[in-house]
Structure 1
């Protein structure tokens, strides 16, 4: 009797699971039939926002539905990321996952991040990676990293702006201070856009930034590029020396990708990966990213998921060793 009851329970469960599976496949087959929301977990004007708008335009053209960018900044990109982790896994809510939201902030905001950067997301595609650049207000008197070090050791120290606590640029500020031997004054903003405006206005003398959001300002002369945190000089800015050339053993790349809530049907994830990679592979888009100093990604959805997993494992101990916190 108990066996029969158990068997009926198993069969009922199989029917339910089969129905859910068929429903998911049906939804995926009809997808997309309405606008898609792409959440940017930073304020407008920064690299994440810039990349998201390029991706939105590309996907909109390829999918035939509107892709609406929504900025939800706060707490080192964790506010917008958490909102997406809790959203319906139907393919209509995506997030620009990045090195801050999915690798560094969970370690910086210890115990305050209410999502798992691996388990709570279906990671779709790596979009672009690029180096960190440090820029300064032209009136600050800072032209080299040695100038910055001298100011840091002087009265009042050196204020350095970033897109927010928990960003890779925040960690660069902490690590640079350790090399100089003086703690730098980290000035976090709610995104690279507001931080850059503060530097241009002279409210903060210097900024640690992802290269794409600084490119236009460097070329316009609104800010001076002081050092590139890349292994070699960047081809777009051959006159800007690397950190290592200036005596500081630091290199840092930022990365940006596309993710959805965990449980999003595999067929939708694969479709988004396919369309994103096709968009990134076009000569026009590759040229545009090259102008911005970025390298387009080309990973499968599984490959991007593995990439995020490795980044989480890499950055947690580095954050702890550096002593970076959100406070």
Structure 2
């Protein structure tokens, strides 16, 4: 027969009274709950430690070294102009040096600000870079009332690349032989003379504006979306003349489809030694457009250093220097700090020139 369960007030087989037995049961339950909580806390703590370990430098899975894929290299002008020529040369050299393609992406328009804004708003991972220049990062600051980016704060400036003089060219059928002829003819012609440039507010445009201010020439500015389209119309005779950077104009000068009038450097170019400077023709005017390498703000400094070192190396190569010299360009060789300071200074320097000219892109 089964033993009857202990009744109320009767001790159990262990001899403990019911009240003592209930207390022991509660203590056992409390110990089990505490042990479960400790185990859970240990598990959470272990997970936190593991997570923290993943966040420690060197503990995370190794990331591919930059660059591990192609780099988009934005040139903020259409193909065919001087910016495009210089950008493609440097992009090819960096591609060979860094072992990944630098894919050229032409994004012209709005005085080089469309392509510049694209890069400013891109992730700062080093896979989208910009051929920054005097128009997009110095002139546009004053030219636009509401520029969609800050030329210093919204970019990581990596290296100055090159500077290059501007040259004034005319269609071969145009009768002017020098700057004095252009000034005289512009005053005699009803409505003045048309003169093209690579875009409103470009350094080529402001050269023409300054030329008119210094001489009293009556010029009608005809802006194009880049030096290439402007040169096409000058060659065709649709516009009699234009200012262009020497690298862009040089092939056309050599083929004879345009004729040179003046160069804007402080001295004559060895590539066109027979062409006098503006100063030699009595006009105190110097204009040296520049091009640099920039990315969005916040780029990793290790990537910036690698890019800066690679740029210095390729610009120091005899082969690239010779090629740039053939185009009339000179290496700039500025490091990130120097180039950042230079961009800021250029924006300040061009501000009164733009205001005095009355030029506006809006």
The TM-score, its normalising length taken from structure 2, stands at: 0.82
* Inter-partner Cα distance in structure 1 for 2:56 and 2:327: 44
Structure 2 residue 294 is the aligned partner of structure 1 residue 259: yes
Superposed CA deviations along residues 37-82 of structure 1, whole A, max 9, x for unmatched, are 0001111101110011101110111111111000001100000000
* Inter-partner Cα distance in structure 2 for 1:135 and 1:198: 12
Q: Contact 1:174–1:183 (CA<8 Å) still a contact in 2? A: no
Corresponding residue for 1:134?
168
* Inter-partner Cα distance in structure 2 for 1:194 and 1:105: 21
Superposed CA deviations along residues 22-51 of structure 1, whole A, max 9, x for unmatched, are 899x76x62111110000111110111001
Would the alpha carbon gap of residues 23 and 176 (structure 1) be closer, same or farther in structure 2, given more than 3 Å must change? farther
Q: Contact 2:182–2:217 (CA<8 Å) still a contact in 1? A: no
> Looking at CA atoms only, which structure, 1 or 2, has the larger radius of gyration?
2
Corresponding residue for 1:206?
241
Cα shift at 1:235: 1.6
Q: Contact 1:126–1:257 (CA<8 Å) still a contact in 2? A: yes
Q: 1:100 aligns with which of 114, 135, 140?
A: 135
Superposed CA deviations along residues 286-312 of structure 1, whole A, max 9, x for unmatched, are 111111111111111111111111111
Q: Per the alignment, in what secondary structure is the counterpart of residue 209 of structure 1?
A: strand
Corresponding residue for 2:339?
304
Structure 2 residue 178 is the aligned partner of structure 1 residue 144: yes
Q: Contact 1:125–1:301 (CA<8 Å) still a contact in 2? A: yes
Q: 1:196 aligns with which of 231, 237, 241?
A: 231
How many residues are matched?
A: 310
* Inter-partner Cα distance in structure 2 for 1:72 and 1:35: 18
Cα shift at 1:20: 10
Ranges in structure 2 where 5+ consecutive residues have no aligned partner:
1-50
Cα shift at 1:19: 5.2
Q: Contact 1:160–1:205 (CA<8 Å) still a contact in 2? A: yes
Q: Contact 1:105–1:165 (CA<8 Å) still a contact in 2? A: no
Structure 2 residue 273 is the aligned partner of structure 1 residue 238: yes
* Inter-partner Cα distance in structure 1 for 2:284 and 2:308: 36
Cα shift at 1:244: 1.2
Superposed CA deviations along residues 254-275 of structure 1, whole A, max 9, x for unmatched, are 0001100001111111111110
The TM-score, its normalising length taken from structure 1, stands at: 0.90
* Inter-partner Cα distance in structure 2 for 1:33 and 1:252: 39
* Inter-partner Cα distance in structure 2 for 1:56 and 1:228: 27
